[in-house]
Amino acid sequence: MCVGLEFAGGMCDTVGQTGRKIGPDGKLRRITVLLSKWTGAGVALLVALMPLFSQAAQADRTYRFSLLHTNDEHGHFWFTEQGEYGLAAQKTLMDTMRYDVQSRGGGALILSAGDVNTGVPESDELDAEPDFRAMNLIGYDAMALGNHEFDKPIAVLRKQEKWARFPLLAANVYQKSTGQRLFKPWAVFNRLGLKIAVVGLITPDTAKLANPAGLTDTEFRDPIAEAEKAVAELRATEKPDVIVALTHLGHYDDGKHGSNGIDDVTLARSLPAGTIDLIVGGHSHDAVCMEKENVSVKNYQPGQPCKPDQQNGIWIMQADKWGKYVGRGDFTFRNGQVTLEAYQLVPVNLKHKIKNADGSETWLTWQEEIPKNTAMMKLLMPFQKRAEAKLIVNVGSADGSFSGEKEQVRFEQTNLGQLILRAQMAHTKADFAVMSGGGIRTSLKSGKLSWRDLLQVQPFGNQVVSVSLTGAEIKKYLDVVANIQPDSGGYAQFAGISLTADGKQVSDVSINGKPLQDAQHYRMATNSFNAAGGDGYPRLDNHAGYLNSGAVDAQVLRDWIKTHSPVKASDYQPKGQIVHLSDEQIRARDEAAEKARKRNYPKMILAWIWPWGNETAATH
């Protein structure tokens, strides 16, 4: 019996401070206990039993529990052309691991660290309904909200909350007007007598990563302060044995997160020792496997050993992206101490390509292939077919590939950035264009292009806009935008302009080959997200020269490709127009300027005294 608690498969769980219940089938439902049905003796028995449901773990007893986790699924409910990942195979794997944990005398929690939304058109078209319904079938216990859960209006997120039979957690998201939390801050689970609390935290960068226009009454507070606050509330009310931070903050080696917001390493180091026990994270799309202290393994390969990061006594885990892996951490708890017994990243049908003797190619799984769960296939197939009918439509072709991977568009100028921006310049009759590299989500392959391909590149549905600015205004704008650091979503892609950026300001600015003139007016194309201040760009949608074309960015790209097909990748290759000076180059520039200034001193002095010398000579 679980009274006033959530019931899931015979285990009592509480979610935030709500009265919802999870039935044996995993479905959340509200249960009302009518005291009139109870006799006085029954009520007395109920009251007497209540401490059993809230007591802490017993002393000198070893408890076993496992965390099974994923993150940044981004709409990949269906498997790839090569049969990689997908939630049907994940269902089989999760069931197998959960049963294994139980057979070893432990209890399992299945957790998602957020960003279920945005990335695959079949999911985006349906507001990620197939993903959430599939996660129900898998048996997810909780999910942290990610920044991409805010890509669409809040009404869509509320709809997704209703679809989900598990709580969507975020302790640090507040409504500005009321000062109240907008989502459940935590959930508490009882696994074989061990109380495990899961606290959700989301990156404060969401305020600029999501469209600011839809977040006017939403505040993303400091995750460090809010973690301490939530833990204090939990310890005062629920008294959990283990506290897990389920975060969407990202992991950066040694906490060097650059211009990105606070990450998991910084969170762990900043909290007083013992505040939390474990971190399950997402956002940075990393397989967090450490080579040595503060240095993670680069280019992690499936099947390699994986040791999570540990900071301030806290284990930090993350399982790459897209459901490519399921992370499994096996832990013991005894007398207040959490110990990691084993950890692995289990690949979900990941494959590599080999060449056969006859020259043909074959895709082989890194490990034994995981069969697809038939019930899951039955659930997902109608969603897949319904979306495919709208998406598999030819829009043109590409002669060569266009680079749009995260490792490129957030670090350097790319031909795909040029393609997108030239299309927007033509649509708005602009002189130049700019957008944040984070708005480009994948590459375009050589060959035929479908509407689905373009929606994968630009899935957000932003509108193409333009604004008329003076040269002086453009200079101030570029001082900010062109100096956003690499490895962040705000790193700018440009077209029709050349410049040199030194981390603080820009110089040598030319538009279409002509030096920028302060008083002259120019038209700049961008998208509604950046114009509203997204990714930290200066806001432009309140400028007198602002004009919203009403056209969606992917549609503008489609029209350009149709007209110019086949689009040749070589025609859009950047030619060094955008120069970012390194620290060494800046130092060399400043030293050269200082030497030139010193060389001018004698000339300056001579110019000052020379007229006096001439007068003297004439007098004598």
- Dump pLDDT digits (tens) for 563-594: 999 999 999 999 999 999 999 999 988 888 88
Q: CA dist 515 to 253, 360, 508, 553, 587, Å? A: 41, 53, 7, 29, 25
Tell whether 382 is covered by a domain.
no
Q: Are residues 40 and 170 in the same domain?
A: no
Q: CA dist 111 to 189, 202, 414, Å? A: 12, 15, 36
Tell whether 383 is covered by a domain.
no
383 pLDDT tier (thresholds 50, 70, 90): very high
List the single range of 25-34, 179-188, 247-256, 442-451 with lowest mean pLDDT: 25-34
Tell whether 381 is covered by a domain.
no
Residue 25 has pLDDT above 90, yes or no: no
Q: Are residues 308 and 410 in the same domain?
A: no
Tell whether 198 is covered by a domain.
yes
Q: Are residues 562 and 506 in the same domain?
A: yes
Which whole number is the average pLDDT over 447-452?
Answer: 96
pLDDT at 40: 43
- Cα–Cα distance measured from residue 250 to residue 406, given in angstroms and rounded to the nearest whole number: 15
Q: Are residues 49 and 143 in the same domain?
A: no
Q: Are residues 21 and 144 in the same domain?
A: no
- Cα–Cα distance measured from residue 282 to residue 114, given in angstroms and rounded to the nearest whole number: 7
The domain that holds 551 is classified in CATH as 3.90.780.10
pLDDT at 589: 87
Phi-psi region of 298 (alpha: psi -120 to 50; beta: other; left: phi over 0): beta
Which range marks the domain in which residue 559 is found?
393-580
Which helix or strand (DSSP H or E) is residue 518 part of? none
Question: Is the pTM above the cut of 0.95?
Answer: no
Tell whether 500 is covered by a domain.
yes
* 8-state DSSP, 499: E
Q: Is the dihedral of CA 11, 17, 18, 19 positive or negative?
A: positive
Q: What is the pLDDT of residues 136-185, one digit of tens each?
A: 999 999 999 999 999 999 999 999 999 999 999 999 999 999 999 999 99
The domain that holds 319 is classified in CATH as 3.60.21.10
Tell whether 217 is covered by a domain.
yes
- Cα–Cα distance measured from residue 282 to residue 349, given in angstroms and rounded to the nearest whole number: 21
Q: Are residues 416 and 347 in the same domain?
A: no
pLDDT at 213: 82
- Cα–Cα distance measured from residue 9 to residue 26, given in angstroms and rounded to the nearest whole number: 7
Domain count, the chain: 4
Q: Which of 374, 407, 426 marks a domain boundary?
A: 374
pLDDT at 41: 44
pLDDT at 512: 93
* 8-state DSSP, 78: S
Tell whether 379 is covered by a domain.
no
Dihedral angle at the C-alpha atoms of 142, 145, 146, 149, nearest 10 degrees?
120
Residue whose C-alpha is closest to residue 2's, from 236, 188, 162: 188
Q: What is the pLDDT of residues 243-278, one digit of tens each?
A: 999 999 999 999 999 888 899 999 999 999 999 999
Q: Are residues 194 and 342 in the same domain?
A: yes
Task: Give me the chain's average pLDDT, please.
Answer: 89
Which whole number is the average pLDDT over 383-405?
Answer: 94
Residue whose C-alpha is closest to residue 260's, from 200, 322, 204, 317: 204
Strands across the sheet containing 309-311: 6-8, 11-15, 186-191, 194-202, 242-248, 278-280, 314-317, 309-311
Q: Are residues 612 and 475 in the same domain?
A: no
Q: Are residues 275 and 339 in the same domain?
A: yes
